[in-house]
Structure 1
Amino acid sequence: MAHPDAVATGGTGGPVADPRRPPGALGGVVPRSALADHAAGSAHRPLRRDVAVRAGGRDGLGRGQRRRAGPAGVHPGGPRAVAARPGGPRRPRHPPRAPGEGRLRRVTPKKPGPAAATSREDGTTGRRRRFTRLLAATAVSRFGDGLHLTALPLLTATVTPDPTAFAGVTVAQTLPWLLVSLPAGALVDRLDRGRVIAVTNGVQAALAAALAVTVLSGGIGLPVLYAVAFALGCCQTLTESAAAALVPQLVPATALATANGRLTGADIIAGQLLAVPLAGVLFGAVHALPFLVDAATFAAAGLLLTGLGAGRARHPDSEPLASVTKDIAVGVRWLAADPGCRSLALVGALINTVLTGCFATFALFALRLLDVGDAGYGLLMGAVSVGGVVAGLLTGTAWRRGSPRLLLLLSLWVPAVACLAIGLTSSPLLAAAMLALIGFGGTVWTVVTITLRQAVIPAHLQGRVMSVFRLTSAGTAPLGAVLGALLVDSSGLRAPWLVGAGALVLAPLLAGPALRAVPEEASAP
């Protein structure tokens, strides 16, 4: 959840494509991976507007140069060129002066204007300050997400004991990722990303407050629960898409891994370790209290991001806006045409399928095979979060001092070994340690892959390509749950873990294009 715009659009050794087209849009040209160009150190970046203006217009001269340019053979810094005009040559503004003769005049310092303030804000200190605000807002809003995600099922239990109703709330919470993620990515690329996050947090605050008032009035029902859960899920989808695309605008390329690690760690600490147990306590006191606190956290997060001033990252040519469908198609084509990013998306889908299948029946595994009870099951799940927090804090340092390629391999092999050990053990302590390793490896994978994507995806495509990547990876969760249940029915509770370990061992083969493109040295990004 890392960012001047460290992005890539094309290699330096091949034909130059229209920057508005995704890789592969040139007929007959097979694009190199953007990750490969990034690893090779090529200038695989979109030309920024200010650079284009300084490079000159159609005649090769900048605006200031055209004003000073004289006839052929006269240096722009030399004597003023006299243009032919009906009234004769232009009279000089001041009479000629003898060599060495000066002219005294009072110089009144001008107050710094908006441009100077913007320049200072865009410096290192300004960007660090804005990222700190994003980090604080992320922690606060994720805390609110954890509150309502935990409290909504508890509230459903007070309305009806029907298991189908619980499934309906879960579907309403997760359905926006399938229906809204692609349009959300297109909107994120059109709008000011900081403002998008601030506004969606404000909408979530209003939704949570309205739900709290409804609970206090006693008029809560399943249709209201489903509607609020779906609306909050839509806002969360838009917020996370905007945050992932915003980080490269706030953080230098060399600090992307550290920034993403901090954001991920804040997400886990606030949204899982703190919010989940507190939500139960607050709900036990007053049913509406978790939602009132939720509304306050979203309002605080929105205020933190008000006036962030990150701006939007449109294409440097400022082409007219196309339809949302065409914008989405551009993101899909870009990801499909890049071998490195495409392989990362496929491996992400495999990991999500395996782990969803394993954890879909883990409650039964913990109760029957590990014999830990309800409290023990909660502690085991907490071990996953602890491993994720440690990974979030350490991955940035490991990126700078080690090899990104090695980190990517470890994020695949460590969960594979852990899944194998869990599938073979009956010890709660060993299972807890292995679950912490799964959380550690999963967070390393998240931080490394999002850092690589932010470094190579063009700034004006960040929202769209990220949303396609997220849909590809997260869209396999229902499939994983079904496969896990089928394996348990046919071969027992250990089967998903053992089969999943074998699948993860083979994952590096699927990740071959990405591994070949990922830099071995810690110098990039």
Structure 2
Amino acid sequence: MTTVEVAGVRAPAWRGGFGRLWAAAVVSRFGDALRAAALPLLAVRLTDEPLVVASVTACGYAPWLLFGLLGGAVADRVDQRRAMWAVDTVRGVVVASFALAVGLGHASIPLLLALAFSLTTLQTLFDNASTALLPSLVEHEALGSANARLMTGQQLAGGLLASPFVPLLLAAGAFMPFAVDASTYLLAAALVASLRVRPPERDPRPAGSTLRAEIADGLRTLWRDRALRGVCLATLLCNIGMGALIATLVLHVTRWLHGGTVGYAAAMTAYSAGSLAGGFIAQRIARRTGRVRALLLAGGVQTTALLVMGTVRQLAALVVGMLLLGAMNMVWNVNQVTLMQQRSPSAMVGRIASAFRTASTSGAPLGALFGGAVAHTYGLNGPALLAAVLFGLAVTSLITVSRRDVPVVAPDDGATAGHPGP
């Protein structure tokens, strides 16, 4: 492992394993974005029923609720590198088969549902294994920069670069986005397979140990760590709020603000641009404040932005608010993941990561339901105000966690307080 000094921040070197992992993550996210855009468009060609179309999206959430914790436990048992390239190979074959079916005119709603469900089921293992593998590729002090680079690259590929390609690929044939997605999975699998990583040392499992018992051990470890427990709860509250906002944002923009489709596009573009900016500042903020206080700052800015969005009836205010939301969301994600990796026992990173992801995933659809009910009952700006309340509660829950007396896993890990660079 090698690191470099970038503006006073320890960062992973691009050469070697991290560069290949970054390339695999970015390539795969590009393909995922193509598929995510093409799948609902294909669904509306096959049916006019809104509930059926929505069920395709729902199948992309369900496996996290059903298998998320199991995926984390399996990730802690296996060689994570092998698990990742094997999963991506299987996903590449599955999507390639789906592309062939679409190209031959055999697409159907049941086939779309099966694709969405199977890909996300496999993702529960891949994502948790990826999170657990990163500390084996970069040094402890470079984890924050590594996460920032990974997330920024994925946001660039999935949030900006993929969008212009979707209409071009669809013009060439409905199967094309899926064919490209399949190729990105296979390329990512090859990149991950080429990594040379020593598997983390694990204590022998007790005789008769079961996945259920190991999942319970991970949850108990998460619960006993005050910082991780508080951040997990705060993340759940924030994701409920974001689910409420995003599910109704098109109504907020087009009807409450009368911004039309151009206004909606401007809002989503501002969010993507803010996310990219947040990736560049996330680690620098953490170096000055500490990771939990970086979360406090991010949550406070987001709460203010949501209050403005819910009370100021101007499109410009919403665009600025979405820009700030995107930037601070990236700051939150980078520091939340890094804090979790730093504070988790190496043999439990997969299980603890799966608990965070399960909480995050369950929060989004729950928030969407709340947002729809609030918009119907209190007005189209109601979900933004609901999100502000939830973000405010999340920030409040983190105040005690941010105190210096929170125990740390390693000396000077920067988890709870900022400290000067080496």
TM-score of the two chains, using structure 1 as the length reference? 0.73
Residue 435 of structure 1: aligned partner: 322
Report matched runs for 1:12-161 at 5 Å.
Answer: 129-161=16-48
* Distance verdict in 2 for CA 1:433–1:318, change over 3 Å: same
Write the letter of the residue equivalent to 1:489. H
Residue 417 of structure 2: aligned partner: 520
Verify the 8 A CA contact 1:189 1:314 in the aligned structure 2: no
Seq. identity, %: 34
Structure in which a larger fraction of residues adopt helix: 2
Verify the 8 A CA contact 1:127 1:251 in the aligned structure 2: no
Write the letter of the residue equivalent to 2:77. R
Write the letter of the residue equivalent to 2:417. E
Residue 409 of structure 2: aligned partner: none
Deviations along 1:206-259, whole A, 9 cap, x unmatched? 111101110111111111111111111122222211111111111111111111
Paired with 2:388 and 2:168, the residues of 1 have a C-alpha distance of: 37
**448-457 vs 269-278, which deviates more?**
269-278
Paired with 1:125 and 1:135, the residues of 2 have a C-alpha distance of: 11
Paired with 1:492 and 1:126, the residues of 2 have a C-alpha distance of: 50
The CA deviation at 1:523 is 5.1
Task: Determine if the alignment matches structure 1 residue 397 to structure 2 residue 284.
Answer: yes
Verify the 8 A CA contact 2:240 2:390 in the aligned structure 1: no
Residue 23 of structure 1: aligned partner: none
Task: Determine if the alignment matches structure 1 residue 477 to structure 2 residue 364.
Answer: yes
Task: Determine if the alignment matches structure 1 residue 417 to structure 2 residue 317.
Answer: no
Which of 360, 382, 390 does residue 503 from structure 1 map onto? Answer: 390
The CA deviation at 1:305 is 0.9
Report matched runs for 1:109-508 at 5 Å.
Answer: 129-317=16-204, 319=206, 322-508=209-395
Partner of 1:145: helix, strand, or coil? helix
Q: Over aligned residues, Cα RMSD in angstroms?
A: 2.2
Paired with 2:65 and 2:163, the residues of 1 have a C-alpha distance of: 25
The CA deviation at 1:132 is 0.9
Return 5+ residue gaps in structure 2 as ranges.
Answer: 3-10, 407-414
Deviations along 1:21-79, whole A, 9 cap, x unmatched? xxxxxxxxxxxxxxxxxxxxxxxxxxxxxxxxxxxxxxxxxxxxxxxxxxxxxxxxxxx
Paired with 1:476 and 1:524, the residues of 2 have a C-alpha distance of: 36
Larger Rg: 1
The CA deviation at 1:173 is 1.3
Write the letter of the residue equivalent to 1:463. G
Paired with 1:523 and 1:465, the residues of 2 have a C-alpha distance of: 29
Verify the 8 A CA contact 1:251 1:259 in the aligned structure 2: yes
**372-381 vs 297-306, which deviates more?**
372-381
Paired with 1:450 and 1:309, the residues of 2 have a C-alpha distance of: 23
* Distance verdict in 2 for CA 1:361–1:211, change over 3 Å: same
Paired with 1:229 and 1:405, the residues of 2 have a C-alpha distance of: 35
The CA deviation at 1:154 is 0.8
Partner of 2:48: helix, strand, or coil? coil
Partner of 1:309: helix, strand, or coil? coil
Paired with 2:217 and 2:14, the residues of 1 have a C-alpha distance of: 29
Residue 85 of structure 1: aligned partner: none
Deviations along 1:291-331, whole A, 9 cap, x unmatched? 11111111111111113132433524565572211111111
Paired with 1:350 and 1:282, the residues of 2 have a C-alpha distance of: 38
Verify the 8 A CA contact 1:209 1:292 in the aligned structure 2: yes
* Distance verdict in 2 for CA 1:371–1:499, change over 3 Å: same
Partner of 1:161: helix, strand, or coil? coil
The CA deviation at 1:483 is 1.4
**312-321 vs 239-248, which deviates more?**
312-321
Write the letter of the residue equivalent to 2:418. E
Write the letter of the residue equivalent to 2:129. A
Paired with 1:314 and 1:325, the residues of 2 have a C-alpha distance of: 21
* Distance verdict in 2 for CA 1:370–1:125, change over 3 Å: closer
> Number of aligned pairs?
404
Partner of 1:476: helix, strand, or coil? helix
Verify the 8 A CA contact 2:138 2:146 in the aligned structure 1: yes
The CA deviation at 1:400 is 3.1
Residue 412 of structure 2: aligned partner: none
Deviations along 1:377-409, whole A, 9 cap, x unmatched? 122112111111111122123333554344221
Return 5+ residue gaps in structure 1 as ranges.
Answer: 5-123
Residue 32 of structure 1: aligned partner: none
Verify the 8 A CA contact 1:261 1:393 in the aligned structure 2: yes
Verify the 8 A CA contact 1:140 1:301 in the aligned structure 2: yes
**455-464 vs 367-376, which deviates more?**
367-376
TM-score of the two chains, using structure 2 as the length reference? 0.90
Paired with 2:106 and 2:139, the residues of 1 have a C-alpha distance of: 50
Verify the 8 A CA contact 1:401 1:522 in the aligned structure 2: yes
Paired with 1:314 and 1:467, the residues of 2 have a C-alpha distance of: 20
Partner of 2:352: helix, strand, or coil? helix
